[in-house]
Amino acid sequence: MTGEAITILLVEDDAAHAEIVRRNLEQSHLANRLVHVGDGQQALDYLRRTGKFPDAARPGLILLDLRLPRVDGLEVLREIKEDADLASIPVVVLTTSAAESDVAQAYSYRANSYLVKPVDFGQFVDLMKTLGYYWLIWNRYPAE
């Protein structure tokens, strides 16, 4: 466990879901910086440090919804994983879609994980706690 803070990029158009993620990471005392963007184009701008994000910190983890305005989440994932500078960033798809076609497409674009958001609030909270511990405490990242 390194204890080093990483930036987490949350790409989520649902403000309530974004708040659940933020609160759970905060309540779990996972000292990481959460950056929230509300659509796929903002995510790409952030990652490319363009538009209103020229000084964006490189995220150590991306939490990506699929159903996004402007640029769909699967397209965002494809562009991330095809970009040599971004491809090593872990991307966790966090979405309401359990459709097999979405799961298959996400993994074909090299998603690192695919999680379906539970409808039940308590289960969603539990999922976020487990996700936080796995990716931010237990998982190991290569030195940059």
Residue 79: pLDDT band by 50, 70, 90 thresholds?
very high
The CATH number linked to 100 is 3.40.50.2300
Model pLDDT for residues 5-29, shown as the tens digit of each residue: 788 999 999 998 898 888 877 776 6
Q: Where in the sequence is the domain holding 110, given as residue range(s)?
A: 7-138
Does residue 2 lie in a domain region?
A: no
What is the model's pLDDT at position 74? 97
pLDDT of 1 strictly over 50: no
What does pTM read for this prediction?
0.87
DSSP letters, the chain, are ------EEEEE-S-HHHHHHHHHHHHHTT---EEEEESSHHHHHHHHHT-TT-TTPPPPSEEEE-SS-SSS-HHHHHHHHHHSTTTTTS-EEEEES---HHHHHHHHHTT-SEEEEPPSSHHHHHHHHHHHHHIIIII------
Let me know if residue 143 belongs to a domain.
no
Whether 144 maps to a domain, the answer reads no
What total of structural domains would you count in the chain? 1
For Cα atoms 47, 102, 37, give the angle at the middle one, nearest 5 degrees: 30
